[in-house]
Chain A
């Protein structure tokens, strides 16, 4: 989010004294009320975010230690390590991006570079919007009936489901990055006799690198935070991988799904431990998109 709005309005509505316009006095009550309410709403939003962050860290950080991070849950020792869940989450992120990043970038390139405006493009854009609006529980149901019937409860089923879910994010973010590439680059390449694919490979993709990475980071956030779409697709297994590839066919709960399971059983401290890790992850992802955006602006 960059703010770049009416400088006049900001300066005058901000700190300085209102000008002595004829109508000022008549509207004073309205002005004061609305400004007060805006201040209140703004502070409320900031307070909610900071309060949530503080609360989660204060309650969650004490639960996190090395055993918590590096063991699997054991009914015998009554410990609740989350290593399998961390591994499952990483599996989910990597596999989902392996499928949806090429697909989404390809779709964005098709929409921006190949397609001409027409019914087909409209259909693609409408369906992409639709995909973005479908709630995760519907993806969960779909994945459960469609992929679940082939791979049953497994990380692979979850991966396929999530790949469809994050597709619109990747398409849109990549499209924005493609639009930011100056038309002159394309004209120049065409003038030098480059073919379209050569142009895409050597000019557009390198120019959009940061945009594509941003798309992936946004997707990582969605994948790591997803739960409703995963409960009935990836299931709730907590075993450690017995083989790098074999693990994709076994059921595995991600961090969020595990949090829900533990909340159901009333293990609140463990839940807050997981929640703190998730929130720190969100902070890290937000920070990295910000840094990337800053770098892109400087490169321009």
Chain B
């Protein structure tokens, strides 16, 4: 092949065909880009269509504020307040444990750990992030549950507390990795400034770097909350799954586990009510996402 021919390889097809290919590829990439929008719209529509009938039938107030969930009773009652409260308390409890431990772990990895330990420490965080939720559930069920039962002298260790502890471990890696990322982004000048003003290293870390990385850390917390409130399989294995009003040492049912535990035999209004639980959960997640979006927008890129 002569050099001239080689050079024309780009334009071999001729200008017309080339433009056509360009247009087609442009269209294909545009369609790929639109897929996300399409999927979110479809999921929202499906959740609304399948979730609304039962709410309309039971009544919004009875559904959200009813305290008795007895869908198979002769006089069925569809109150999901216990599940909403269990989800909210479970998530908050998990954050109350997971956030401080996660942020402090991030500080340790970022500023204090010996350099030689770093690959090992990040590997442990990555491992925790990768372990499937059923495996967390299994360990919670076999190891943690009996432990809790023994410590607090309960007949069963399948309690809200067990669920909170398992969730706390599960959101830990999210919080650690997001916090590390945002601590890394703190400008070096801040550190020099703080040290020059006579702050010690620890003061600098906790009174300068952490406040400076605040929005990033909050992002991590919100992501962790999102993960905790949507977690299903680990919870169903450790929480006992009875729709009681939440009690730290009692068996509870979360919104997510409420759906899974009855889906395979529910029918009629009962089945529709399960979809309504899904809709309530979806709305929770949507609010969390909106919050996240707000935080991210405030944050300069």
* A-to-B contact residues, CB < 8 Å: 1, 3-6, 8-10, 12-15, 18-19, 21-24, 27, 30-31, 34-35, 37-42, 44-46, 48-50, 52-53, 55-56, 102-107, 109-111, 113-115, 123-124, 126-131, 133-139, 141-142, 144-146, 164, 167-168, 171, 192-198, 200, 221, 224-228, 231-232, 256, 259-260, 263, 268, 271-272, 275, 278-279, 282-283, 285-286, 290
- Is B52 an interface residue when CB atoms closer than 8 A count as contact? no
Chain A: CB-nearest residue to B141: A263
Cα–Cα distance between A272 and B37 once the two chains are bound (Å): 40
Of B63-71, B151-159, B280-288, the segment with at least 4 beta carbons within 8 Å of chain A is B280-288
Number of inter-chain CB pairs below 8 Å? 319
Of B26-34, B53-61, B77-85, B244-252, the segment with at least 4 beta carbons within 8 Å of chain A is B26-34
Inside 8 A of B134's CB, which chain A residues have their CB?
A: 225, 227, 256, 259-260, 263, 275
The listed residue (B123, B137, B169, B275) touching A286 by CB distance below 8 A is B123
Check if B192 sits within 8 Å of A31, measured CB to CB: no
Chain B, range 17-49, C-beta contacts under 8 Å to A:
18, 21-22, 25-26, 28-37, 39-40, 42-43, 46-47
Inside 8 A of A221's CB, which chain B residues have their CB?
A: 130
Check if A14 sits within 8 Å of B114, measured CB to CB: yes
Cα–Cα distance between A23 and B18 once the two chains are bound (Å): 70
Chain A: CB-nearest residue to B284: A135
Chain B, range 230-284, C-beta contacts under 8 Å to A:
230-233, 237, 256, 259-260, 263-264, 275, 278, 281-282
**Most interface-central of B50, B121, B130, B278 (chain A CB within 10 A):** B130
8 contacts between A and B (CB under 8 A): A4-B184, A6-B186, A38-B105, A38-B112, A55-B143, A56-B135, A225-B130, A228-B133
Check if A21 sits within 8 Å of B127, measured CB to CB: no
- Is B198 an interface residue when CB atoms closer than 8 A count as contact? yes
Cα–Cα distance between A35 and B186 once the two chains are bound (Å): 20
The listed residue (A23, A38, A45, A134) touching B285 by CB distance below 8 A is A134
From DSSP, what is the main secondary structure of chain B's interface residues? helix
Q: Please, what's the 1-or-0 string for B113-149, where 1 marks a CB less than 8 Å from any CB in chain A?
A: 1110010111111111011111101110111000000
Inside 8 A of B26's CB, which chain A residues have their CB?
A: 114, 196
Cα–Cα distance between A106 and B24 once the two chains are bound (Å): 13
Closest beta carbon of chain A to B172's beta carbon, Å? 6
Given the interface pairs A15-B114, A42-B121, the reply to whether A260 lies near B169 with Cβ below 8 Å is: no
Check if A1 sits within 8 Å of B126, measured CB to CB: yes
Interface size for chain B: under 10, 10 to 19, 20 to 34, or 35 or more residues?
A: 35 or more
Check if B139 sits within 8 Å of A107, measured CB to CB: no
From DSSP, what is the main secondary structure of chain A's interface residues? helix
Inside 8 A of B10's CB, which chain A residues have their CB?
A: 192-195, 198
Closest beta carbon of chain A to B246's beta carbon, Å? 19
Closest beta carbon of chain A to B27's beta carbon, Å? 10
Inside 8 A of A18's CB, which chain B residues have their CB?
A: 200-201
Check if A285 sits within 8 Å of B36, measured CB to CB: no
Inside 8 A of B218's CB, which chain A residues have their CB?
A: none
Inside 8 A of B72's CB, which chain A residues have their CB?
A: none
Inside 8 A of A193's CB, which chain B residues have their CB?
A: 10-11
Nearest first, the 8 closest Cβ-Cβ pairs linking A and B are A135-B230, A106-B32, A42-B108, A225-B132, A41-B104, A110-B33, A49-B124, A13-B201
Given the interface pairs A56-B135, A109-B29, A193-B11, the reply to whether A142 lies near B47 with Cβ below 8 Å is: yes
Cα–Cα distance between A226 and B172 once the two chains are bound (Å): 19
Check if A38 sits within 8 Å of B108, measured CB to CB: yes
Given the interface pairs A27-B200, A56-B135, A135-B231, the reply to whether A42 lies near B40 with Cβ below 8 Å is: no
Inside 8 A of A197's CB, which chain B residues have their CB?
A: 21-22, 25
Cα–Cα distance between A268 and B142 once the two chains are bound (Å): 8
Check if A8 sits within 8 Å of B195, measured CB to CB: yes
Closest beta carbon of chain B to A121's beta carbon, Å? 8
Closest beta carbon of chain B to A131's beta carbon, Å? 6
- Is B299 an interface residue when CB atoms closer than 8 A count as contact? no
Check if B259 sits within 8 Å of A137, measured CB to CB: yes
Check if B135 sits within 8 Å of A279, measured CB to CB: yes
The listed residue (A5, A130, A263) touching B183 by CB distance below 8 A is A5
Chain B: CB-nearest residue to A289: B126
Check if B18 sits within 8 Å of A195, measured CB to CB: yes
Inside 8 A of B180's CB, which chain A residues have their CB?
A: 1, 3
Check if B43 sits within 8 Å of A227, measured CB to CB: no
Cα–Cα distance between A198 and B192 once the two chains are bound (Å): 48
